[in-house]
Amino acid sequence: MKIDKDMGSILGPELKIDGNVNVDGSLLIYGTVNGNIESHGSVRTAKGSKVKGDIIGQEAHICGLVEGNLIIDGKIILGSESQLTGNLKSGTLVIEEGAKFAGTCDMAHYNSQADLDE
């Protein structure tokens, strides 16, 4: 079977990870992650997913529950059924009607890798 490298990685709904996740490409989460996530691509959490940890990446589309900080170089989208408890740093932020967000927002221009090096 040929592997489509553009597809990214998928964490299924029955999967629970206790520990940090590092991905070279994009990541789609249907399950539960108890740990930090670092991606060199986009991170998308599906409705019903749970993340307890920070998310660092290029883009993020949150549709599930996240308890942690988001440090994103590009755009963050908080979907209509998302719940974010934590702070976020991003160049662009979209909050859809119905999204729940408790935290602070920093939209100053920066680079997430530089933030990690500090």
Q: How confident is the model at residue 2 (pLDDT cuts 50, 70, 90)?
A: very low
The model's pTM is 0.87
Task: Give the pLDDT confidence of 18-39 residue by residue, as tens digits.
Answer: 999 999 999 999 999 999 999 9
pLDDT tops 90 at residue 111: no
Q: How confident is the model at residue 108 (pLDDT cuts 50, 70, 90)?
A: confident
User: Which pLDDT belongs to residue 8?
Assistant: 85
Task: Give the pLDDT confidence of 34-79 residue by residue, as tens digits.
Answer: 999 999 999 999 999 999 999 999 999 999 999 999 999 999 999 9
User: Which pLDDT belongs to residue 82?
Assistant: 98
DSSP the chain: ----TTS-EEE-TT-EEES-EEESS-EEESSEEES-EEESSEEEE-TT-EEES-EEESEEEE-SEEES-EEESSEEEE-TT-EEES-EE-SEEEE-TT-EEES-EE-SS--HHHHHH-
For residue 113, give both structure tokens: 């890798």
Q: What average pLDDT does the segment 80-96 reach?
A: 96
